[in-house]
Amino acid sequence: MIDEIQRARDAALAVIGSSDDASLDRLSGELLGKKSALAAVKAGLGRLDPDARRTAGQALNEVMAEIAAAIDDRRAQAAAAALAARIAAEQLDLTEARPLQPRGHLHLVTQAWERLEDVFIGLGFTVAEGPEVETDWFNFEALNMGEGHPARGEFDTLFVGRDPSEQAGASGTLLRTHTSPVQIRAMLAQEPPIHIVAPGRVFRRDTPDATHMPVFHQIEGLVVDRGITMADLAGTIEAFTRAFFGEGFTSRLRPSYFPFTEPSAEFDIRRPDGSWLELGGCGMVHPDVLRAGGLDPEEWGGFAFGFGIDRMAVMRHAVADIRDMYVNDIRFIEQF
Ligand code: FA5
């Protein structure tokens, strides 16, 4: 009888080993149920003498437990395999989607602004700021353009006060027409020596065209110390030109006029193809401007410069029309 039990065990384990998940429930009935070979053996136990019955009964119980455990093992194996197959089938290859996600980037003017700051910080300047809504005093008066000064007419100013009477006088408010008022704010805020640049947004009632926008950006520079000369100004502009544009570029100063500098100059840069482009204005800080900043012109001297960031961005990337930078045409923007 023990042999019979062993044969039934071996046969059962072989069937379990090769069966799949779906057939396991049925198999459990066939191998361990009332009509199974082992049930038949069990029914025959009664015919044995007590000793043999005990031995065979024990063997039978062990084998039945072994078969039940084998079915459970096989079921767990089948479930793990089914799960692995489902995960494999549902897997998404996300790496393939990545090139389809467009990456944004900084606006051309922001790129130029940040690069300008980097270059000037490298030359020993710190970055200063001033408000976009200014008083008439900071924007004009303190810069040697008192009421009635003809140079005011060159800045088509946008006033903030609703009533024309609010616009008149040194306390009238306006949208700053240039970054030069930051010169005055810097002189009032700190003791010389001063080495600052002040990038920022400025506003003029200019009609948009290929080289003009009503809202644009300038960067102002101011150095105040003892014994500053025009050579310091020319040297700084030249060092900046090479650092920002590259080795093939040089600069020149041309005599000009600004009420807040004396002498004044326009500065141009020479491109590797030999052509010149006007970039901005500069000069030695006017004694009246030093006085408005609380400094004694007998003791302190300085130079200042200011130029258009949008024009620089346009030039660096050979963009034909400054307005292209602001119409948000994705075909244009994504080129940079
Ligand atoms: C000034 O604004 C002076 N504050 C510059 C200055 C500073 C001179 C310190 C001396 C000492 P101007 O109006 O020329 O100057 O403007 C300077 C630059 O701003 C121009 O060279 C040009 O690059 C840019 N710019 C002027 N108007 C516009 C505009 N409507 N759109 C875009 N860029 C402009």
Count the neighbouring beta carbons within 10 Å of the beta carbon of residue 130.
20
What's the confidence (pLDDT) of residue 138? 96
**pLDDT over 70 (residue 12):** yes
3-state secondary structure of 215: strand
Which ligand 1 atom is at minimum distance from the Cα of 183? 9
Residue range 108-333, CATH number = 3.30.930.10
Pocket test for ligand 1, best of 157, 177, 206, 258 (most atoms within 8 A of CB): 258
Q: pLDDT, tens digit, for every residue of 139-184?
A: 999 999 988 888 887 888 998 875 666 555 656 899 999 999 999 9
pLDDT band at 238 (very low <50, low <70, confident <90, very high): very high
What's the confidence (pLDDT) of residue 125? 98
pTM: 0.71
Distance 174 CA to ligand 1 centre (A): 17
**Region 2-29 average pLDDT:** 83
What's the confidence (pLDDT) of residue 163? 62
Between CA 170 and CA 155 the distance in angstroms is: 16
Distance 177 CA to ligand 1 centre (A): 9
Residue intervals of the chain classified under CATH 3.30.930.10 are 108-333
pLDDT band at 97 (very low <50, low <70, confident <90, very high): low
What's the confidence (pLDDT) of residue 96? 63
**pLDDT over 70 (residue 100):** no
Distance 179 CA to ligand 1 centre (A): 9
Pocket lined around ligand 1, Cβ cut-off 6 Å: 178, 180, 204, 206, 212-213, 216, 218, 220, 258, 261, 278, 280-283, 304-308, 310-311
